[in-house]
Every structure is written in structure tokens, then in C-alpha cells.
Structure 1
Amino acid sequence: MFENIFPLIIVALGVGVLLLLITKLQINTFISLIITAFLVALALGMPLDEIVSSIESGMGATLGSIALIFGFGAILGRLVADAGGAQRIAITLIDKFGEKRIQWAVVIASFIIGIALFFEVGLVLLIPIVYQIAKELKVSPLYLGIPMTAALSVTHGFLPPHPGPTVIAQQYEANIGMVLIYGIIIAIPTVIIAGPLFTKLAQKITPDSFNKTGDMTAIGESKSFKIENTPGFGISVLTSLFPVILMALTTIVDLVQDLGNVSDNLLFDIIHLIGQPTAALLISVLLAIYTMGVQRNIPMKQVMTSAEESIRAIGMMLLIIGGGGVLKQVLIDGGVGDAVANLFADTQMSPLVLAWLIAAILRIALGSATVAALTTAGLVIPLMQGSAVDPALMVLATGAGSLIASHVNDAGFWMFKEFFGLSVKETFATWTFLETIISVVGLVGVLVINMFV
């Protein structure tokens, strides 16, 4: 028993060291991850001549398959934002829905924009629009802010091409199209519960929070457009969702082939090619260059400047994700995964629940949803062997767990607090509660789907 417990004690101590390095010593997250990986490798008794190769392997394996996806994803989001497409989506939906259903307009706009943009980018982009609407309608910014952040957070945690689900789909060898389909099925009720419905509860829990005006200076510079100078609503939505459309098309073709026992042909091969995340995003970026740039007579140099700035913005994020992959690889090579598998060999707990639980614990300890998800993958992959569990559902269970209880060690906590001018206590009562609801409802959704597939 002790040989199974000891590696887990090392992991717990490693998490503690990582938390100390990041929060107390304020060392960069990427550097902290690599330091922790070295220390954990030594503590697990890995041969000294294998430690560096394990670290390099973890970095290469993680970034090798996702660097292109993140790069193209960042470029796509920036091109849509800098052309005013995202603003057009938000304003059009708001006009169509009207004042009484304004929350639902914000939810739909945030969900569409959230699929194409990373959480932080979407938040910074939508905050000025939310403030503008709140001012015109004389409602609290938080009244619209909770549904907005709920939609952005759900897409960040559940839907490719966002970092967490994309990376762990690759780690679990899951069909990314099925992750997307299941993710959307779970995301819709989750956003409704954690957005408009939770807002009503939050107004009762912390009514003073809805009297705050917020702090726009925390956002920095943001582009604002006259509506007539933005791309059309239809083309903006099509450009934002094009990678999702291509990936979903491939999954539909797979299902048709399986159900109809249809063999491959050239057409299906082409569809499979363009439905791969890297190819889908490259095609979508080319479409965005045309629809958000060339078609609107924006000089190519200006379009490419937006592309270059988007890549600079995600450089550190890529290193941090790679660092999470390093720690994951060290845990696997050090035998932690096998220890977990042995410890839970006779457990009746579903691998889905176990993945959610481990990810939740790591999220609370580390703060980063992506790092929590990556580390969880290294621990639960051995438990999937011999199990009939759907890898796509494992991705979503891990993603749900990695969103729980965001607090003071998560950048999102402080962004939400500053944007809406809240106290720490009020942020716990709104943002932290919101993230926990998303996590729990997401797990319930995964378990429900698991009953039918």
C-alpha cells in the first residue's frame, strides 16, 4: 500500500511547492512548473540521466500537436476583433433581443465570440460593450457581466479549440469532433444555469455587488467602432464559427460512415483533412484575412500586424501549457500514474468522476485550469486502460473539474474583481460561485450523456 501512497505524497508536496513558488515567491508560472518538475522527478527517484529527456519529451509532446492550433486560433480571434466583427455580433443580437431579454442577447453573443477567442481576450473585448449597454439601459454592469463570463468560461473549459479541451483531447486520444459535439450539448444548459439563472440568486446573496460601477481603466486600450464601419453580422458569425463548422462536418461524416458502413473515398478523405483542427483553423484564418481584411479594403500590412500581435500575446501561455505537459510527463515517467491506477484498481468510482475530482483538487491548489487539466491527464490515463469510458467524455469531465472554485491564485478571479469593482468577498460570492456551478453542472451533464453512449 505504501508504495502506492508514496508517489501521491510526492505529488501533493510538489503541488505545494508549485503553489509556494507562484503565489508567495511570485515566480513566473512557467519557470515554477519546470522547477517543480525537476524536484518531483528527483523525489520520485527517477534516474538522473533520464530526467532532462523526460522534461524535453513532455514539452515537445504537448506543444508539438497544439502550437499550430493555438497560433491560428489566436490569429483568427484577433482578426475578427480588430475588424469590429465581434462588436457587430454583440450589438446586432442585443438590438434583436431587446431590453427585456438583454441577458440572453449577451449570453448568445458571448458564446459565439467565446468559441473563437481565448477567455481573457473575449473578456477584455466584451467588457466595454457590456458597460455601454448597461449605461444605456440603466442596469448594473454585473447583471450583464455574470451571463457574459459564464458563456466565456464554459466555452473555455469545454469546447475546442480552447487550450484545456484541445490539449487533453490529444492526451486521451479522444475524437475532437465528438468532444465538440458533446461539449456543446453540455455547454448550453450549463450557460443558462450559471448565467441568467445564477444572476437572480447572486442578486439575493450579495445585492450590494449590483450597485458597483466597476473600473474601466483595468481594461486598457480597446477598439470601438461605429456600427456602419463593422463587417456584416452574418459574415462575422460565419468567420468566427468556421473552424467549428469544419470540425463538426468531419464528425458527422464519421458517424454516417459508421452507421451506414460506408468505406472511405476521395471526398471523405478531403473532408477528414479539412476537419482536423490545424487544417480547419488555417482555412478559417485564410477566410478571416479575406472577410475581415481584403474584402473591407484593409491593407494587408495592417491585417498582418494584427496577426503578429496576437502571436506575441500567447507566447507565455504556450510556454505555461508546455510546462504543464512537462509536469504531466514527469508524473507518468516517475510512476505516479501507475500508483494511482493501483490505488484505485478495485474502486467502484467512475473514471469520469475520478478525473473530475482530481482536476478539481488541482484547480483549487494551482489556480490554472489548463495546468490542472494537463496534470490530471497524466494521473488518470492509466485508469482508462481496460475501461469502456468514452475518451471524449473523459475530456469534458476533466475540463469541468478544472474550472471549479476559481479564487485568489487564478488570474480570472482578479480580472473579474477589478472589471466590476468588487471586494474580495463579493468576488467569492459571484465569480467563485459561478465557476463552481459550471463545474458541477458540467459533471452532471457528462454523467447523463454517459448513460446513453
Structure 2
Amino acid sequence: MEYRNANAAHMAIEFAHSPLVTFAVGLALVVLLLVVWDLPAFIGLTVAAFSVGLVNAVFVPDFAFSQAATETATAFGNGMAGIGIPILMAAIIGKSMLESGAAQRVVRSFQSLLGRENSDVALWGSSTVLAIPVFFDSVFYLLAPLARSMRARIGDNYALYIVVVGAGAATTHVFVPPTPGPLAVASEIGADLGTTMLVGAAVAVPSATMGGLVYGRWINNRIDIPLRDTMGTTTEELEERAERDSSALPGVLESVAPIVIAVALVGASTALGPLQQALPALSGALTTIEPAVAFFGDKNVALTVAAIAAALIYLRWTDLARSEWESELTEALKSGGNIAAITAMGGAFGALLAASGIGSYLANGLEGIGIGLLVTAWLIAAIVRIAQGSATAAMLTAAGIMAPLTGQLNVHTAYLVMAIGAGGNICSWYPDSGFWLVKEIGGLTQAETLQTWTVVTTIISVTGLVSVLVLSTLFPL
């Protein structure tokens, strides 16, 4: 009996000093502040991040009490550096495309090409392809206004449209290089890039189909998400544009110009490196233009150029005076600023959880589990992702642990990249800045975001793992 009591006491002390305490405190606070007390998201996430920092100061060596404040502020600033300008410019693009009727023109073009009943397929395919050269967040910024316009035009199916846009972009984001996540993992474990891209596409298609089209249609029959005012545009304005005669809308080329500009600029920057390798004869010329391509291909600049184009189209297709036009754009920026703040603080909350060491703690605990390497890699990435929020951080953590073990694989290392990507995509929720981005830009409640986005990312993760196991068995390469 004394041995049992001593053992239980030892386990209790070990738990009390583990990062699991930080994780438990963070989770409890987020639920209390945001779900039970229903505080504004930014305030709740800020309090939760500060509190997690204080817990770190107690249990994490070399983490001072003062760092609870400074690390939160630094992580928030880093988050704003990454998404501040893109979200503000996305607010301009969204407002301008919706108000000018450009989004409606694109929606009607989709419907005339594929039929009204296949509107979800059009959005799904667009987001899947666009996310290969463009970051997930940028794709969601660009296509969310189309999803909202499609809902205004058809009158329902908003859950479906949000799901297919998110699923297509999220799937490519973790499976298909040159997206940074799988590209970095492939480099870490030494996987051939060409094979990784082919295997990534093979895994991405069933994963995006199950997460987007199959689940999207299923959940759409069970919940009805209304349009809400967001990104500086009211529901009434959207519905008015949906009823506007086609002759009063911009042409197709003019309407898609902001999206094409953003994708072309970012895509050119992404493609420059591979192009230099594929065409050595043109390497000198490509090197000459590289600085300009890198500047305009930066997502901050690319979305700014696209926002200017969208705003000018908006001015051209409305009868607003310049002062009124300026006021409307300012309202969009106010809305975008709130979204950027919430998204960046969500990332800061995840960063403070990560500072507790929860990622390496969980990963080291799973390292010795006696299961297959592909499943082990998926499990490590999945648990780290759930604990601290960032898909990319979870993927890189798992890659660092699995890289020395690649010699034990009896299949191509590209499958290991895919297993890690699938695990890193699972269960986007409160610690993930992407959760808040989808919620705020989509105009969703927390419950609706959990029912759509969180479940979709989990389905993509599980389907991705199953696809990897099947493909690696049939085609070990």
C-alpha cells in the first residue's frame, strides 16, 4: 500500500511539473472565457495567453514572470507581421469585390459554366488549385467573398461553400509542395521533391474530396448558417448585389483581376527557384529579375496591388463620390483590423502553449511506441498540432524526430512527408490562428466554426493517413 501511495504521489508530482499542466490551464481558460463567459475573442485570448505565460513562469526553467507579458506581446507582434497587411488588404478586396458586383459576376460565371447545382465543385476546385502556389490564408481571403456572394445569390448552402473553400486550400497546404510546410518537411527528411509532389497530389485529391464535397454536403443538410455582416459588408448589401441585373456588373476579366493579380504575383515568386533549376540557360536573366519578383511576390505586396485594383474597380462600378468611397474602404479596414487582432492573438496563445515545451514533451513520449513509422509520424504531428495549434510547427517537430529513422522505411520517404502533413492538419481549434481567421472572415460563430472547419481539418487528416497507408502498400516506390 505504501508503494502504491508513493508511486501515485510521484506521478502526481511529475504531472504537476509537466507541460500538460500548461495545456490543461490554457484549454480551461479558453473554454471559460470564450464559451461560458462569452467575452470578445480578442480579450479572452489575451487573458488566456497571459495566464499560460504565468503558468510557464512557474514550471518552465529560464522562463521569467516578466516574460509572460513580453512573450505574449512579441508573439502577437510576430503574428501581426505575418497576417496584418494581408488581412487588411483582404478586407479591401472583399469589400470591393462584393460592393462592385465583381464577386457576383464570378459566381454567375461559375454557375453558367458548371451549372447552379455544381457551385460547390467550382469553389472546391478553385481553392484546391490556387493553394498550390499561394498560402492557405491568402486563398481563403480571396475566395471567402465568392462563397458569401454565392450564398446571397442561391439563398442557402453557406455551410457547404465555406467548407469546400477551406477544405481545398487546407489540403494542398499540407500535402503539395511548393507550399512551405511539405516543402520544409521533404527537405528535412531528404525526400525527392518531384516524387513528393506526385504523391502529395495523389493524397490531396481523396482528402479534399472527403473533407470538402462529401462532408460539406452532409453538414450542409444538418445546419443552416445565415449570412452575417463581416469584412465591412452587410447582409442587405450582399443580397442587393445578388439581385442586380448582369448588365450592371463588371465583366468577367475585370471581376477576376484582383484574384489573378494576387495569384500571379505570389505564384511567380514561388516558381522562380524551380524555373532557374529547370532552365539553366535562362538562369542569368532570371537572376536579374529575382529581386523584383521577390518584392512583388511577397504576399504583403501582392495583396496590396490586388487591393488597389479591386478598389478602383469598386469606384468605377458605383456612383459613390470619392469621399464616400474612401469612407467605405475605411470601414472595411476597421473590420479587417479587428479580424487581424483576433487572428494574431490566437497565434500568440498557441505560441505561449508551445513555449511550455508541450510539443517536444508529447513527441518524445510517443517516439518509442511500437507501431509503424508512418502511423507514428502521423500521431506525433497530430498530438503536437492539437496541443499548440500550428500545423507547420507540428510538421517540423515530427520531421525532426522522424528524420533519423528514415532508413527503417520500406516505402518511399515521400509517404512519410504525407503522413506528417496529414497529422499536422488535424483538429484546427482555439490555439490555431487559422481557426480564428476562418471564423471572423466567414462570419461564423464559434460553434459553427467547430462544426465546419475543425471537423473538416480532422477528416482531411484521417483520410490523408488512410490514403498514405493504402498507396504505400500498393505502390511502395
How big is the shift at 1:83?
A: 0.7
1-structure distance, mates of 2:452, 2:89: 33
Partner of 1:22: 34
5+ long unaligned stretches in structure 1 = 132-140, 161-166, 363-371, 419-423
Q: Which amino acid aligns with 2:426?
A: G
How big is the shift at 1:24?
A: 1.0
Q: Which amino acid aligns with 2:294?
A: H
Q: Which amino acid aligns with 1:373?
A: G
Partner of 2:357: 335
How big is the shift at 1:401?
A: 1.6
Partner of 2:236: 221
* 1:290 maps to 2:315: no
TM-score normalised by structure 2 residue count: 0.66
How big is the shift at 1:215?
A: 6.3
How big is the shift at 1:85?
A: 0.6
How big is the shift at 1:67?
A: 0.8
Q: CA RMSD in A?
A: 5.0
Matches within 5 A, 1:8-407: 8-44=20-56, 45=58, 46-98=63-115, 101=118, 104=121, 115=139, 117=141, 122-131=146-155, 141-142=156-157, 145=158, 147-154=160-167, 157=170, 190-198=207-215, 220-223=235-238, 224=241, 225-260=244-279, 262=283, 265-294=287-316, 299-346=321-368, 348=373, 350-359=376-385, 361=386, 373-374=389-390, 382-385=397-400, 388=403, 397=422, 400-403=425-428
Q: Which amino acid aligns with 2:263?
A: V
How big is the shift at 1:124?
A: 3.8
How big is the shift at 1:7?
A: 1.0
How big is the shift at 1:217?
A: 8.7
RCO greater where, 1 or 2, for CA within 8 Å and sep 6 or more? Answer: 1
What are the Cα deviations for residues 283-331 of structure 1, in whole angstroms up to 9, with x where unaligned?
2122223344348776544443342222211223222222223223323
2-structure distance, mates of 1:202, 1:130: 17
Identity %: 19
Q: Which amino acid aligns with 1:26?
A: D
8 Å CA contact 1:396, 1:446 repeated in 2:
no
1-structure distance, mates of 2:470, 2:329: 41
Instruction: Tell me which structure has the larger Cα radius of gyration.
Output: 2
2-structure distance, mates of 1:65, 1:21: 26
How big is the shift at 1:39?
A: 2.3
How big is the shift at 1:21?
A: 1.6
Partner of 2:176: none
5+ long unaligned stretches in structure 2 = 1-10, 132-137, 174-178, 188-193, 404-412
What are the Cα deviations for residues 246-302 of structure 1, in whole angstroms up to 9, with x where unaligned?
211222211112344536622122122211111111221222233443487765444
2-structure distance, mates of 1:449, 1:251: 28
TM-score normalised by structure 1 residue count: 0.69
Q: Which amino acid aligns with 2:151?
A: I
Q: Which amino acid aligns with 1:235?
A: E
Aligned residues: 406
8 Å CA contact 1:116, 1:240 repeated in 2:
no
User: Structure 1 pair 447/254, CA: closer, same or farther in 2 (3 Å)?
Assistant: farther
1-structure distance, mates of 2:329, 2:201: 28
8 Å CA contact 2:26, 2:52 repeated in 1:
yes
1-structure distance, mates of 2:104, 2:439: 22
How big is the shift at 1:30?
A: 2.0
2-structure distance, mates of 1:230, 1:104: 23
User: Structure 1 pair 449/273, CA: closer, same or farther in 2 (3 Å)?
Assistant: farther
